Structure 1
Amino acid sequence: MTLKDRITEDMKAAMRAKEADRLSTIRMLLAACKQKEVDERVVLDDAAVIGIVDKLIKQRKDSIAAFQQAGRTDLVDKETAEVAVLSAYLPQRLTADEIGTEIAALVAELGAAGPGDMGKVMGAAKAKLAGKADMGLVSAAVKQALSR
């Protein structure tokens, strides 16, 4: 069963269970997937769906930060619940130590040295770790590895 099929089945289960909040989040995810398929005229594989989930989670986290600054706890709670639903569709994430190890290997492999090579290392890291790690943590690990 593909990830997209699993999301569709979860939508049906949320409908049956009358879980309105979960249902709206899953529908939003499926709409984003469908939009990408229509725009690019492709059928999404699991990696592309994970990319969309990552993007939606990042948007929710940005919104949470903005809502917290504005003191809107009601909206913070809603966005946090959406992040929890979306996170269920991501594979197991790498820990900070595992990310550091992967980045150290990439830096050695590419022969990168200094902050000027940040783009080169990030490009390789994104290709290798997309969907497996939080790219914010990856960026921080790359900066740290290149500043040594």
Structure 2
Amino acid sequence: MSGWSEAGTQPDEDEHQRFNRYLQQLEDVCREDEAELVRVILRDPDEVMAQSAVARHLDRRSRQLLTDPGFDDWFHAMATEVAEHEFLVRRLHDWMLLRSIAVNAPWRPEDVLAASDWFQRTAVQILTSPAALRLLASDGRTRRVRTAADRRLAEQRR
């Protein structure tokens, strides 16, 4: 273990300094220590800041692992650590749905349409599935999503 100190650590650090330190630690952490580091960060007294740092990490790591066979194991390890944080649980589930679409695993259109605005915007940016993009182009929640999905479909046809 890299010797991460418990949340609230250095008395002279404000939440901005801790946030930046957490982001750096999360970027540098090895897979074996990742879950423990997430657990330590989520004990920080500034819950909003800690969850924000972990959410950024989940987004970055999910993008890296999206089509990797190790995604499922990583997902379950992270789900255990964030289980008591509703926002982080929802974000992880959004990534699992994105993964299902990206690797051509079964997914349900109603799940895509019920997903968060963040999910729909992210799906349009990273997915190549014509079925998912057509669904978002026709029934996405916002005009922004529908337009972006339609644009992605047009790019695929070229």
TM-score between both structures, scaled by the size of structure 1? 0.33
TM-score between both structures, scaled by the size of structure 2? 0.32
Structure with the higher helix share, 1 or 2 = 1
Of structures 1 and 2, the one with the larger relative CO (CA 8 A, separation 6+) is 1
